[in-house]
């Protein structure tokens, strides 16, 4: 839990797939909120957290099952507004004296549904049912349904499968809906959250400017006059972390930029120049490309490559960090989704598809304490903070780039020659995307060099050169992705440019695999 001075809203997570979206909708309203799994929300936790309002999320369980998730009963006596969503509605009804029926006796609803209002007015629905159709589209996903509402509640909206789609006890400010207002497919859902936080008395003071000031004060308080080191990758998260710390503690911060020789064309120079010239921060440019490329020589197994890079990164970082006398803290750009994932009650151990590269494990090994100023932010909030800190828009909007860099875009053995070809081809491809004004529409785009040569003909001569794969995807979070539908003209122009401008490539493929079944990177 944080010690923010803002009014805060508590989201009790009962395991819905879309709980994070509730937090998104609230943050968009400049309301500070935290998601906590229901098991952690005890009476003592609630008293300490002192929420100004509570939201019960949806969830996959049935309230009729003994041992199914519940909020602490003190939630109902705190005297703060509560909004229950889907399973959250059913829990609220069940706990307060209503009745829920199991799926087999009820009309299950999954997907689009329409609610119509009752005659009674409730502030929660201000701005609803105004388009003349007399109904609102909502997204349902429930098997069980409320069969009898709890004493004190009234019905304010009904859908064909949910006679109690919208209910409220306005005297206690308890509201409960069967549908999911947080999802995109409930088009007017954001209004419902806006109404809820308004009637709970939030003033919407969670802004990036305020966050920046608070974080700077917090960092100063945590660090005092001691020293901090920060691993800078050139990506948005580590850059924003570094700059925020620099603002807070100036020279007490040293950033280490580990150049593993697997960066894109001119990338190392650009990153170093940006930080040295614009921010004047202590920066060690650790050019360790010989070490990394040496150890990767002859290695073609993707996991072995990742493990080597991860291990060397930690060794190298430690070597440079040891030169900074008295460093007691390590700054890391951990984001809120990482924090939620690590505490989520529903997120059991999942299969490792790829071992991701990060600096986890370093703090214990080196006896360092962590400074994580982005722990409360979502990715787009980090971008907004970067903007607030004066990072150039072109930098903030850059596509994600993986820690292992070009190594995982070079399936098979990595050689300096292949990396050279890949860097040039990737630069041409990205240049094409920018020239055609497509960069911001695409979530991530890159070239990969394939582990094969093919025969071609150029200028009446035979060529036997590398084949290149181009990848471009749209995505929201990198968890799922779709390939970007370039026009044929774009693809043929780009292929021609790459083959003409990059020696060593004579064939270009476009990767039209979505994720799943593919992953975004090739390894
Ligand atoms: P995949 O290939 O798993 O990638 O579909 C999803 C997103 O994660 C990035 N990625 C990484 N980022 N360290 C990172 O920092 C890694 O080891 C790593 N592997 C993949 C990838 O670029 C995409 O954005």
- DSSP-assigned states of every residue in 28-70: HTT-EEEEEEGGG--HHHHHHH--SEEEE---SS-TTSTT---
In the numeric block, the tokens 């703060």 are attached to 80
Can you tell me the distance from the alpha carbon of 240 to that of 248, in angstroms, rounded to the nearest whole number?
12
Q: How confident is the model at residue 358 (pLDDT cuts 50, 70, 90)?
A: low
Please tell me what DSSP assigns to residue 244: H
| Ligand 1 binding pocket includes 398 (Cβ within 6 Å) | no
Among 149-158, 352-361, 417-426, the range scoring the smallest mean pLDDT is 352-361
CA of 460 to the centre of ligand 1 (A): 41
Bridge partners, residue 109, by sequence: 142
Q: Give just the sign of the alpha carbon dihedral 309, 259, 477, 9.
A: positive
Q: What is the pLDDT of residue 3?
A: 52
Q: What is residue 341's predicted lDDT score, i.e. its pLDDT?
A: 57
Give the closest residue to 144 by CA, choosing from 223, 84, 60.
60
What CATH number was assigned to the domain covering residues 8-200?
3.40.50.880
356 lines ligand 1 (CB under 6 A): yes
Model's pTM, two decimal places?
A: 0.74
Judge whether 180 counts as a catalytic residue.
yes
Beta-carbon contacts of 485 under 8 Å, excluding residues fewer than 6 positions away, are none
Residue 101 phi/psi, 5-degree rounding, is -110, 150
Residue 68 has pLDDT above 50, yes or no: yes
CATH of segment(s) 208-396? 3.40.50.620
94 catalytic, yes or no?
no
Q: Report the percent of the chain where pLDDT is more than 90.
A: 75
Fold of the CATH domain 415-511: GMP Synthetase; Chain A, domain 3 (3.30.300)
pLDDT digits (tens, 9 = 90+) for 83-111: 999 999 999 999 999 999 887 655 677 88
- Domain 208-396 and domain 415-511, same fold? Reply is no
Q: Which member of 182, 194, 214, 288 is catalytic?
A: 182
- Quickly tell me which residue has 């039209």 as its tokens: 512
Q: Half-sphere exposure of residue 81, counting CA atoms within 13 Å on the CB side? A: 21
Report whether residue 403 contacts ligand 1, using a CB cutoff of 6 Å: yes
Separation of 248 CA from ligand 1 center, angstroms?
30
- What is the domain partition of the chain in residue ranges? 8-200, 208-396, 415-511
Helix axes 19-28, 336-343, angle to 10 degrees: 150
Residues in the chain: 523
The whole-number pLDDT of residue 351 equals 56
Residue 348, pLDDT > 90, answer no
């Amino acid at each position: 839990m944080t010690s923010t001075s803002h009014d805060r809203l508590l989201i009790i997570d009962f395991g819905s797939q879309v709980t994070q979206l509730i937090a998104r909708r609230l943050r968009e309203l400049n309301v500070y909120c935290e998601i906590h799994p229901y098991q952690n929300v005890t009476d003592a936790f609630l008293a300490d957290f002192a929420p100004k309002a509570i939201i019960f999320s949806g969830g996959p369980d049935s309230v009729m099952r003994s041992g199914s998730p519940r909020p602490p009963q003190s939630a109902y006596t705190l005297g703060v507004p509560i909004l229950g969503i889907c399973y959250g509605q059913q829990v609220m009804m069940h706990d307060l004296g209503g009745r829920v029926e199991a799926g087999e006796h009820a009309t299950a609803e999954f997907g689009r549904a329409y609610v119509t209002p009752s005659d009674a007015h409730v502030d929660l629905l201000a701005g609803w049912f105004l388009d003349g159709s007399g109904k609102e589209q909502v997204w349902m996903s429930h098997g069980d349904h409320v069969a009898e509402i709890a004493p004190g509640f009234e019905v304010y909206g009904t859908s064909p499968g949910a006679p109690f789609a919208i209910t409220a006890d306005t005297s206690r400010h308890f509201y409960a809906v069967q549908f999911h207002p947080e999802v995109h497919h409930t088009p007017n859902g954001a209004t419902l959250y806006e109404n809820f936080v308004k009637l709970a008395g939030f003033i919407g003071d969670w802004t990036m400017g305020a966050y920046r000031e608070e974080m700077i004060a917090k960092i100063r308080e945590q660090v005092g006059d001691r020293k901090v080191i920060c691993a800078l990758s050139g990506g948005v998260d580590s850059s924003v972390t570094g700059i925020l710390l620099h603002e807070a503690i100036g020279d007490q911060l040293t950033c280490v930029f580990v150049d593993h020789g697997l960066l894109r064309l001119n990338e190392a120079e650009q990153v170093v120049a940006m930080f040295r010239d614009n921010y004047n921060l202590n920066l060690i440019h650790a050019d360790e490309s010989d070490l990394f490329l040496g150890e990767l020589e002859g290695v073609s197994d993707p996991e072995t490559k990742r493990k080597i890079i991860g291990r060397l990164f930690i060794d190298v970082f430690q070597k440079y960090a040891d030169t900074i006398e008295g460093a007691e803290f390590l700054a890391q750009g951990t984001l809120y989704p990482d924090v939620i994932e690590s505490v989520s009650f529903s997120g059991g151990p999942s299969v490792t598809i790829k071992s991701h590269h990060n600096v986890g494990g370093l703090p214990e090994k080196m006896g360092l304490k962590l400074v994580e100023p982005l722990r409360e932010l979502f990715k787009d909030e980090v971008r907004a903070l970067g903007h607030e800190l004066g990072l150039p828009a072109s930098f903030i909007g850059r596509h994600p780039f993986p820690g292992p860099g070009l190594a995982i875009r070079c399936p098979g053995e990595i050689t300096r020659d292949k990396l050279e070809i890949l860097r040039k081809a990737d630069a041409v491809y990205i240049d094409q995307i920018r020239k055609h004004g497509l960069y911001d529409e695409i979530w991530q785009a890159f070239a990969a060099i394939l582990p094969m040569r093919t025969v071609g003909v150029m200028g009446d001569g035979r060529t036997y050169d590398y084949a290149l794969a181009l990848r471009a995807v749209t995505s929201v979070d990198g968890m799922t992705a779709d390939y970007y539908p370039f026009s044929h003209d774009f693809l043929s122009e780009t292929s021609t440019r790459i083959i003409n401008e990059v020696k060593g490539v004579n064939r270009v493929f476009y990767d039209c695999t979505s994720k799943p079944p593919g992953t975004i990177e090739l390894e």
